[in-house]
Chain A
Amino acid sequence: MVKSVYTTGEVAAICKVSQQTVIRCFDSGRLRGFRVPGSRFRRIPRDNLIAFMKENEIPLDQLASGRKRVLVVDDDQAIVDMFTELLERDGRFEVRTAQTGYDAGIATQQFRPDVMLLDFKLPDINGNVVCRTVRSQSEFEHMKIIIISGVADPDEIADLRAAGADDFIRKPFEIEQVICRMADMLKL
């Protein structure tokens, strides 16, 4: 179901900017909308939001589906395919994939995922490096990172958590468990 009116917080999440930025744009007239009668709450109609996003060249992906964006990063095509099929079958997720750390970086910039399912051992760089790189940029601070790996060394897991991973799932896994954890994290 597609929403027709958005709060400033929702707009901030869709446009990946802070709520204050949305309020400033609303107050200056660059983002058009209305205040709720009898209160000062700002509301932005869907058409006005689309116009604003186009004017400012903000991708319309998030707005288009309303589904959570998931970036699956794994060099094993069979794993990638399985996750893609699993998540798309669920319906709540929009999936992009990457098979190297480099690809993951580019996809993160373009796709701006809500959650990243990240394999620890990648052909070019390891998962902990990807974690650190993502966490070093404030615009991705809300992004969730779940490491999925066949290696279960407790020291390595501790290292990954320190690098900014939110969760760790060991291969092989129960698919229900993975979906549940993602839903919890994204408050679906």
Chain B
Amino acid sequence: MLSGREVSHTGTGIAKTRAVRQAIERYCPCVDSSALLQTLTAHSSDSPQSHIGKTTIERDYSSANVLDCIDVSATRAFIRQSRRLLSHNESTLDEAAFWRHSLTVAVAAQLIGGLRGLDEFSNALFSAGLTHDFGHLVLAGCFPRSYNRAVHRIFRENEPVTEVETELVGVDHCTAGRLLLRNWNADPLLQYAAWLHHNWPQSTITDANLEADIKTVILAHAVAGNAKTELCSGSSIGVMERSCEDLKVPIERIRKLTRQLPGIVAEVDDKLDLARILHEDNSNIVRTMAPVSAIPPFPDDTSRTSSESPLATAIAGLARSGGDRPTVMNACLRIASSVINAFGIGRVGVFAMHKESGILVAATPTGNNIERLTQRRDCLGPADTFAADWAISESCSSTAIEPILERVTCLLEMVDPFPIHFVSGGDLSAGMILDNADPAANGYVALYNWEKQAFLTVAAAEVTHAQHTDNLEQQLELFAANCRKTSDDQGSKVQQASLGMIAEMAAGAAHELNNPLAVISGRAQMLKADLVDPQLSRQVAIIDEQARLASAIISELMSFAKPPVASRSQINVRQWINRLRQYWQEHSTIRSDQICATISDPTLAVFADAEQLTEAAVAIISNSIEASSPQKLRVLINSDSSASDDTVVVSFEDNGCGMAPDVLKHACDPFFSYRPAGRGRGLGLSRAARLLENNGGKLWMQSTVGAGTKVFLTLPTRPPRA
């Protein structure tokens, strides 16, 4: 029958509008003034003034024309009840101005009805005038923050009311008012008056009387605007003249009405004692985070007990399932499970805010178990993209939830996903998505508000606890990682400092000890030259030799602590190993077949100081020789570049006596030797390891007692990056 103006839909706005409308439709029944409104609308006066049109057309208007016809007490009760739509004080809506404007339009509509010469008078026009702007109450009550922003723009920047509201809230007050009144089953006139009072009705209204009544309210709205009462906008003289023409009402009478209207309204205002109603403490309605939940229980709520409520089952279910580790993921899953169990809902999606990524858990029942369909960490966008209204509305008004809705809809094959938010400390912490098409979901929807509030509080607490635990664990992990890193750094620093100290000490010792050693050695040589007795001569030679040995140890220590700077170049591994084998054949009794080499790639090359690399290899092979009897020794040299493009691993494997783990642990420590005293100074492997480090490589070992030792050299294939 009607195709009035609708909210403009663009892109994601459709989903937003839908969500807002759903929110309003769930919000409206919370303050049910329908009974009072029907009383008000249907009231007919028995007074002689009931044919107000005929009588008032001949004389001046007065408040009596109005007051005789309306039920004052019903009006007061209706206003008082309707104020509950603003159950919180976050809105900046000026209630006094709102009601004065509504009253003005109501009075004007009633008087214009008289001017139209209506034979039958009812309070319908008055009621339509009174409720035409109820959309403001809905928006201010349901989405106070968005609405406040809209009001700011409308009054400060003089922007069109409906467009700004649609942009910022999702719907304008006209649509919101219509939704409310439809929900209250109000007279069609009231619904259309609320919906169309900012626009001329389209010709699709076939009922001429209804159209005339709507136009009456619109004219009343224009008159009120011209009478300079508050909250008037969008009216103009053009509208007034056109309305007068359509309604066949003399324009002069309307102008007269416009002049007299403020006085009449003031009288009606006094009679209704509007100021007193508005001064009544609205705060007996406890303000909570969600206005929906703030509505006091309905009278018959008292007959219900919590044990009967499926929500109580859900809450109890949440409390019982506390055995898991309290992660956000587990919390989401527990909530999903408890809701599924409590309501028998087929599928539930639960999402939660995470520090860096959102978590989405979709669950569905399978037999006696809850199957976790998926658990995904998907980025839900930065937290500030969640509209502030999320935190105060049970339903979602933000487009930010759309990706989640889409995913859940797709994943769980939901027909009409309906988001429910868990709010903790004023912030959105998590939410749950039900399917409106699932009959079991109505079990939740039909719940009373205090039950919903209780469930939401418990669920929010559950998620918040898990979030805090997660955060704490993350911080602990970070702390532990930092501790480990600090420990490693400290270890590395201590090692570097130790080597620095050794280098400094060795340099000092080299100077201080080499002088007396030089004197011992020199004097011994001089003495030897004078000696004829070969016995004495040999003893003096030993003195010289030992002095030089002591000096050599000092040099080795110094070289270990402060190896010379590596002069690195490209070295072919095969050629290097061949030279190494040749060296051993020339400098020892080792046979050529005792040192075998396997080179995976003949072109394999490393980037190192050839002299230092050879020195390290000599130290390793010397170690192998000392760990085995020379005749039985067998050294296998392997090269492998498969681990990485940047490194080559060369391994030296012997069949010596091997090392126990506690020996292996210290094998590279300077001066550590597990062999009998006198066979080595214990600097061979430690020096080899130092030389490898000096060339950007690494030395590591595997050893088995009785089986032998495998020494691995990791060598770089490329020059170090600048």
Name A residues whose Cβ lies closer than 8 Å to a Cβ of B.
76, 78-79, 82, 85-86, 89, 121, 149-155, 170-176
Q: Report the Cα distance A89→B525, complex, angstroms.
A: 14
Q: Contacts of B562 on A, CB cut-off 8 Å? A: 153
Determine whether the beta carbon of A121 is less than 8 Å from that of B526: no
Determine whether the beta carbon of A172 is less than 8 Å from that of B520: yes
Determine whether the beta carbon of A171 is less than 8 Å from that of B515: yes
Rounded to whole Å, the gap between the CB of B563 and the closest CB of chain A is: 11
Q: Contacts of A155 on B, CB cut-off 8 Å? A: 564-565
Q: Nearest residue in A to B525 (C-beta to C-beta)?
A: A175
* Interface 9-mer from B505-513, B598-606, B696-704: B505-513
Interface extent on B, as a size class? 20 to 34
Q: Nearest residue in B to A173 (C-beta to C-beta)?
A: B518
The 10 nearest A-B residue pairs measured at CB: A150-B514, A171-B518, A172-B521, A172-B518, A171-B514, A78-B519, A76-B515, A150-B511, A175-B525, A82-B522
* Interface 9-mer from B246-254, B262-270, B547-555, B631-639: B547-555
Q: Contacts of B548 on A, CB cut-off 8 Å? A: 172
Determine whether the beta carbon of B511 is less than 8 Å from that of A151: yes
Q: Report the Cα distance A155→B564, complex, angstroms.
A: 8
Q: Contacts of A176 on B, CB cut-off 8 Å? A: 525
B523 within 8 A of partner (CB): yes
B518-549 interface bits toward A, Cβ cutoff 8 Å, 1 = contact, 0 = none = 11111101100000000000000000000110
Q: Contacts of A174 on B, CB cut-off 8 Å? A: 525
B404 within 8 A of partner (CB): no
Partner of A151, one of B507, B517, B521: B507
Determine whether the beta carbon of B516 is less than 8 Å from that of A121: no
Q: Report the Cα distance A86→B558, complex, angstroms.
A: 30
Q: Contacts of A82 on B, CB cut-off 8 Å? A: 519, 522-523, 526
Q: A121-B511, A150-B511, A152-B510 are in contact. Are A172 and B523 (CB under 8 A)?
A: no
Q: Report the Cα distance A171→B547, complex, angstroms.
A: 10
Q: Contacts of A172 on B, CB cut-off 8 Å? A: 514, 517-518, 520-522, 547-548, 551
Q: Nearest residue in B to A86 (C-beta to C-beta)?
A: B526
Q: Contacts of B510 on A, CB cut-off 8 Å? A: 150-152
Partner of A154, one of B520, B551, B564: B564
Q: Which chain B residues numbered 69 to 116 have a C-beta less than 8 Å away from chain A? A: none
Q: Report the Cα distance A177→B514, complex, angstroms.
A: 17
Q: A152-B510, A152-B555 are in contact. Are A175 and B522 (CB under 8 A)?
A: yes
Given contacts A170-B514, A172-B514, 6 further A-B contacts (CB under 8 A): A78-B515, A79-B515, A150-B512, A150-B513, A150-B518, A172-B521
Q: Is the interface of A mostly helix, strand, loop or mixed?
A: mixed
Q: Report the Cα distance A162→B511, complex, angstroms.
A: 21
Q: Report the Cα distance A173→B548, complex, angstroms.
A: 8
Rounded to whole Å, the gap between the CB of B565 and the closest CB of chain A is: 8
Rounded to whole Å, the gap between the CB of A139 and the closest CB of chain B is: 32
Q: Contacts of B515 on A, CB cut-off 8 Å? A: 76, 78-79, 150, 171
Q: Contacts of B523 on A, CB cut-off 8 Å? A: 82
27 contacts between A and B (CB under 8 A): A76-B515, A76-B519, A78-B519, A79-B522, A82-B519, A82-B526, A86-B522, A89-B526, A121-B511, A150-B510, A150-B512, A150-B514, A150-B517, A151-B507, A152-B510, A152-B555, A153-B507, A154-B564, A155-B564, A155-B565, A171-B514, A171-B517, A172-B520, A172-B521, A172-B547, A173-B518, A173-B521
Partner of B519, one of A79, A121, A151, A152: A79
Determine whether the beta carbon of A78 is less than 8 Å from that of B526: no
Q: Report the Cα distance A153→B554, complex, angstroms.
A: 12
Q: Report the Cα distance A122→B513, complex, angstroms.
A: 15
Q: Nearest residue in A to B528 (C-beta to C-beta)?
A: A175
Determine whether the beta carbon of B525 is less than 8 Å from that of A171: no
Q: Report the Cα distance A107→B514, complex, angstroms.
A: 26
Q: Report the Cα distance A89→B523, complex, angstroms.
A: 13
* Most B Cβ at <10 Å: residue of A76, A170, A172, A173: A172
Q: Is the interface of B mostly helix, strand, loop or mixed?
A: helix
Q: A150-B511, A151-B510, A175-B526 are in contact. Are A79 and B555 (CB under 8 A)?
A: no
* Most A Cβ at <10 Å: residue of B525, B548, B555: B525
Q: Which chain B residues numbered 205 to 220 have a C-beta less than 8 Å away from chain A? A: none
Q: Nearest residue in B to A148 (C-beta to C-beta)?
A: B518
Q: Contacts of A175 on B, CB cut-off 8 Å? A: 522, 525-526
Determine whether the beta carbon of A85 is less than 8 Å from that of B526: yes
Q: Contacts of B526 on A, CB cut-off 8 Å? A: 82, 85-86, 89, 175
Partner of B518, one of A79, A85, A153: A79
Q: Contacts of B525 on A, CB cut-off 8 Å? A: 174-176
Q: Report the Cα distance A151→B558, complex, angstroms.
A: 10
Q: Contacts of A170 on B, CB cut-off 8 Å? A: 514
Q: Nearest residue in B to A176 (C-beta to C-beta)?
A: B525
Q: Contacts of A154 on B, CB cut-off 8 Å? A: 564
Q: Contacts of B517 on A, CB cut-off 8 Å? A: 150, 171-172
Q: Which chain B residues numbered 477 to 519 have a C-beta less than 8 Å away from chain A? A: 507, 510-519
Rounded to whole Å, the gap between the CB of A23 and the closest CB of chain B is: 44
Q: Report the Cα distance A121→B518, complex, angstroms.
A: 15
Q: Contacts of A85 on B, CB cut-off 8 Å? A: 526
Q: Report the Cα distance A153→B514, complex, angstroms.
A: 14
* Most A Cβ at <10 Å: residue of B510, B548, B562: B510
Q: Nearest residue in B to A175 (C-beta to C-beta)?
A: B525
Q: Which chain B residues numbered 579 to 619 have a C-beta less than 8 Å away from chain A? A: none
Q: Contacts of A152 on B, CB cut-off 8 Å? A: 510, 555
Q: Nearest residue in B to A169 (C-beta to C-beta)?
A: B518
Q: Report the Cα distance A176→B523, complex, angstroms.
A: 12
Q: Contacts of B513 on A, CB cut-off 8 Å? A: 150
Q: Report the Cα distance A2→B634, complex, angstroms.
A: 69
Q: Contacts of B551 on A, CB cut-off 8 Å? A: 150, 171-172
Q: Contacts of A151 on B, CB cut-off 8 Å? A: 507, 510-511, 514
Q: Report the Cα distance A85→B564, complex, angstroms.
A: 36
Q: Nearest residue in B to A78 (C-beta to C-beta)?
A: B519
Q: Report the Cα distance A80→B564, complex, angstroms.
A: 31
Determine whether the beta carbon of A78 is less than 8 Å from that of B516: yes
Q: Contacts of A173 on B, CB cut-off 8 Å? A: 518, 521-522
Q: Report the Cα distance A82→B565, complex, angstroms.
A: 35
Q: Contacts of B547 on A, CB cut-off 8 Å? A: 172
Q: Nearest residue in B to A152 (C-beta to C-beta)?
A: B555
Q: Which chain B residues numbered 401 to 455 have a C-beta less than 8 Å away from chain A? A: none
* Most A Cβ at <10 Å: residue of B520, B522, B562: B522
Rounded to whole Å, the gap between the CB of A26 and the closest CB of chain B is: 45
Q: Contacts of B558 on A, CB cut-off 8 Å? A: 153
Q: Nearest residue in A to B512 (C-beta to C-beta)?
A: A150
Q: Report the Cα distance A150→B552, complex, angstroms.
A: 11
Q: Report the Cα distance A173→B519, complex, angstroms.
A: 9
Q: Report the Cα distance A185→B558, complex, angstroms.
A: 31
Q: Report the Cα distance A140→B706, complex, angstroms.
A: 67
Q: Report the Cα distance A121→B508, complex, angstroms.
A: 11
Rounded to whole Å, the gap between the CB of A46 and the closest CB of chain B is: 35
Q: Report the Cα distance A179→B564, complex, angstroms.
A: 30
Rounded to whole Å, the gap between the CB of B560 and the closest CB of chain A is: 14
Q: Report the Cα distance A153→B522, complex, angstroms.
A: 22
Q: Contacts of B519 on A, CB cut-off 8 Å? A: 76, 78-79, 82
Rounded to whole Å, the gap between the CB of B547 and the closest CB of chain A is: 6
Q: Contacts of A78 on B, CB cut-off 8 Å? A: 515-516, 519
Q: Report the Cα distance A109→B512, complex, angstroms.
A: 30
Q: Contacts of A86 on B, CB cut-off 8 Å? A: 522, 526
Q: Nearest residue in B to A80 (C-beta to C-beta)?
A: B519
Q: Report the Cα distance A171→B510, complex, angstroms.
A: 9
